[in-house]
Amino acid sequence: MGRQMSSLRFASERCRTAVPRLFVCDVDRTLLTHDHVLLPAVSAAARSMHSVKLPLILASARSPVGLERVHADVGASDTVCCFNGAWIGTLSSRTTLKEARLDREAALEAMTSVHHLGGSPIWFDLDTCFVLKPDERVARRRTDVTGDRLQLINRSNEAPKAPFKLLATFPEETIEASVTLLSSKFSGELTVAQSGPNLVELVASGVQKDVAAAFIAHEFGLGSKDVVAAGDSDNDFGLLCWAGLAIAVSNAKPHVQKVADIVAPSCDVGGLALAFEWVVERKSAFVRVIPRHARAPP
């Protein structure tokens, strides 16, 4: 293990004192590769956290449907954070613990704005997403990866209810300017965050992964100091700042790596497996040195 751990870069003193009791983990380009593959070493290392009774919470921009396959393969907790925290619930039963939908009128206006900026938006309900027919080709490139059910509509107002999120796909060369413009236009109404090289998430104001993680930690009777979190992009930044121990992969954006206590190798080489292994060893060492009568519940 010592040889493997040399691939982790330790960037703060918190690594010496942290004793994680909950692991909150981003999915795409952190747990999975850029091609959305779960490497066997990562899956095995994630499952090894069961040996030290360390729950793994998936915190993703994905929908519940989009999490199902990876969730089963890593043996994660039934409690999940979807849509960057707009829906928190139990994956198996779809029982809602907390939700925050967008205002419907703001969502319809945002759909129009995304189109004006040259993007392609998708409207997400809990188990189905809706897309205008001209955007079908772009949308299916995304839903073919996640397994989301896609329904075509002729006009934006045919989408039902209010969405949990809008996912907008933009050309990489225009995405930064688009995020800036959307953030300015919908300030106070929507939270706008980039989640991938050409993906922008629009959720209700105040919806963020750190807020969701705090809610979930409280459900476990824990605080931020008890939580280790891993991520790679803008929608993970607040989560990593909030957590007691922050892990980034080396493919993460520079400003995300900057707030990390540990930087693991790229998602494309299964770098998070090393982080999982380190956390298991850290938790095991803590349990070995604490007398049985003095141990806190796992």
pLDDT for 100-146, tens place per residue?
A: 999 999 999 999 999 999 999 999 999 999 999 999 999 999 999 99
Are 100 and 86 contacting, i.e. CB atoms less than 8 angstroms apart? yes
Overall CATH class of domain 104-204: alpha beta
Q: Which of 204, 194, 208 is nearest to 255 (CA)?
A: 194
Distance separating alpha carbons of residues 129 and 121, to the nearest angstrom = 10
**pLDDT: which is higher, 284 or 203:** 203
Q: In the chain, what are the domain boundaries? A: 2-99+208-294, 104-204
Query: How sure is the predictor about 1, in pLDDT bands with cuts at 50, 70 and 90?
Result: very low
The beta-strand segments (E) located in 27-68 are: 56-58
Q: What is the pTM of this model?
A: 0.91
Cα–Cα distance between 204 and 124 in angstroms, integer? 13
pLDDT digits (tens, 9 = 90+) for 244-289: 999 999 999 999 999 999 999 999 999 999 999 999 998 888 665 4
Which of 3.40.50.300, 3.40.50.1000, 3.10.28.10, 1.20.1250.20 is the CATH number of 2-99+208-294? 3.40.50.1000
Cα–Cα distance between 9 and 87 in angstroms, integer?
A: 33
Q: For residue 266, what are the CA distances in angstroms to 83, 104, 248, 253, 260?
A: 24, 38, 9, 11, 14
Q: Cα-flanking dihedrals φ and ψ of residue 4, to 5°? A: -65, -40
Mean pLDDT value across residues 147-168: 96
